[in-house]
Amino acid sequence: MALYRLIYVSQAVAGLEYPDLVKILEKSELNNKKVGITGMLSFGDSMFLQVLEGSRRVISQTYNRILLDPRHVNAELIDFSEIEHRDFGAWSMKVVQLGNQAGIRDIILKYSSSETFSPISMTGKQSLNFLRELTELYQRGTTS
Ligand SMILES: Cc1cc2nc3c(=O)[nH]c(=O)nc-3n(C[C@H](O)[C@H](O)[C@H](O)COP(=O)(O)O)c2cc1C
């Protein structure tokens, strides 16, 4: 079956905190596992950058649901492409809170004009490469 990838950026509402992220993670893992979605959700400086991989139908259904979520606003679609294989297949959803973990600031700086995480100003390619490098960092096990 054809595989697709969707990447979007959005802004967290004021007051969103770590426990909210945990709730999003738990729900996402549960739902995504059922429908074969894999991906990563990064969060930093009040911005979300998420990638979803799976069939076109489930990606569309899930994204439409996510757009209605009051925990974030101003979602912008960055990429929707047919892909040959998954890059984030290890996780039904991995949530990464971007902080001062070893290596993270370097990856942010590599793809941004400053150390502030600003996925809204990234191109589709930059956002994908940013998320891929985060994945490598976590799969190497140098951070958790
Ligand atoms: C930034 C963000 C990312 C989310 N990612 C997912 C996701 O990958 N999968 C998912 O099912 N829900 C995700 N959610 C939660 C959905 O918006 C929604 O609350 C949930 O899917 C509802 O599931 P339910 O109908 O089973 O209660 C996300 C929410 C936010 C704010």
The residue extents of the domains of the chain are: 3-140
Average pLDDT for 14-26: 95
pLDDT at 112: 86
Atom in ligand 1 nearest the alpha carbon of residue 71: 31
Atom in ligand 1 nearest the alpha carbon of residue 48: 1
Using a 10 angstrom Cβ sphere, with 0-12 exposed, 13-18 middle and 19 or more buried, the burial of residue 11 is middle
Of 98, 97, 108, 46, give the one whose Cα is nearest residue 72: 46
pLDDT tens-digit series, residues 45-78: 999 999 999 999 999 999 999 999 999 999 999 9
94 Cβ below 6 A of ligand 1: no
CATH of domain 3-140: 3.30.70.100
pLDDT tens-digit series, residues 78-131: 999 999 999 999 999 999 999 888 789 999 999 988 888 999 999 999 999 999
In this structure, the residue with its CA closest to atom 31 of ligand 1 is: 71
pTM: 0.95
